[in-house]
Amino acid sequence: MHLNCGSADANVHDFLPRHLANAQRSQRVRSNHQSFSIGTVSQDLAFSSSHSAMTLVLPVSLGSLPIGATRVRFKQTQAPVAALGIQSPPSSFSGSVDWVKVTDGEFFQTDSRPIMLFDGVCNLCNGGVRFVRDNDRNRMIRYEALQSESGRKLLQRCGRSSDDISSVVLVEKDRCSIKSEAVLRIMEFLGLPFPQLAFFLKIAPLFVRDFSYDIVANNRYALFGRTETESCEI
């Protein structure tokens, strides 16, 4: 057999330069694709969220491994409240006070009678309290000034502001009445003929009764004056 060694040497010399040129081009392509390596990923990449993780596709080269898209997952964490400039509420914060429960034990645990809240410095209101007391033969109603500590608590039980003295309020264990409804409800606890009179007055629409009540209540100091002390002689 005859071997053509000269031709083989020529092929080898031809192949090596081409192979080296191709390898250099591949290396340049790999260098262009390497935007950064895994080692450059640091804590500077932070995401503040309380939901799912984020996937970031990074073109990287790992030693002798072929170049490809490597998925790097960044776990999203919730940013501290202090970092956002928001102050956390105190640990003792527990929402609004349940004034029904608070006042039940103090005012209705041993005595279920309703409580009439009145303006303690209003002459008209004080006169109304004396009138109710004189006609409440069975002592069915208790009394508290709106300005008193007990009155403030009971106002909040009824869902009203603790400094709201614009209306008489009748506080019962299971309900609260204001304005004309409170007046008519108080009349139902008195002796004859006031319960019957209250029944007939309820024929008038509520907005008419409350409108009349507001006219008198808003001008009570001008029409009837006020007392020097903040309590009524009960």
CATH number assigned to the domain comprising residue 210:
3.40.30
Asked if residue 93 is part of any domain, the answer here is: no
What pLDDT sits at residue 50? 43
Mean pLDDT of the chain: 74
Is residue 5's pLDDT more than 50?
A: no
Asked if residue 118 is part of any domain, the answer here is: yes
Overall number of domains in the chain: 1
Asked if residue 114 is part of any domain, the answer here is: yes
Can you give the residue range of the structural domain that contains 103? 99-224
Asked if residue 63 is part of any domain, the answer here is: no
Asked if residue 72 is part of any domain, the answer here is: no
What pLDDT sits at residue 114? 97
Confidence tier at 53 by pLDDT (50, 70, 90): very low
What pLDDT sits at residue 74? 46
Asked if residue 77 is part of any domain, the answer here is: no
| 7-50 residue pLDDT tens | 444 454 555 556 555 656 655 545 554 444 444 444 443 444 44
Average pLDDT over residues 60-84: 45
Confidence tier at 113 by pLDDT (50, 70, 90): very high
- State the greatest distance between any 2 C-alpha atoms of the chain, in Å, as a whole number: 144
Report pTM.
0.58
Q: Report the range of poorest mean pLDDT among 64-73, 162-171, 174-183.
A: 64-73
d(CA 168, CA 179): 6
| Residue 52: how many other CB atoms lie within 10 Å | 8
Q: Report the range of poorest mean pLDDT among 74-88, 127-141, 150-164, 204-218.
A: 74-88
Q: Percent of the chain scored above 90 by pLDDT?
A: 50
- Annotate the chain with three-state secondary structure: CCCCHHHHHHHHHHHHHHHHHHHHHHHHHHHHHCCCCHHHCCCCCCCECCCCCEEEEEEECCCCCCCEEEEEEECCECCCHHHHCCCCCCCCCCCCCCHHHHHHHHHHCCCCCCEEEECCCEHHHHHHHHHHHHHCCCCCCEEEECCCHHHHHHHHHCCCCCCCCCCCEEECCCCEEEHHHHHHHHHCCCCCCHHHHHHHHCCCCHHHHHHHHHHHHHCHHHHHCECCCCCCCC
Confidence tier at 82 by pLDDT (50, 70, 90): very low
Task: Read off φ and ψ for residue 226, nearest 5 degrees.
Answer: -140, 160
Is residue 159's pLDDT more than 70?
A: yes
Asked if residue 205 is part of any domain, the answer here is: yes
**Parallel, antiparallel, or unpaired for β 68-74 and 115-118?**
unpaired
Asked if residue 119 is part of any domain, the answer here is: yes
**Helix 179-187 with 194-201: angle, nearest 10 deg:** 150
Closest CA to 75 of 107, 50, 110: 50
Residue 153 near residue 176, CB atoms below 8 Å: no
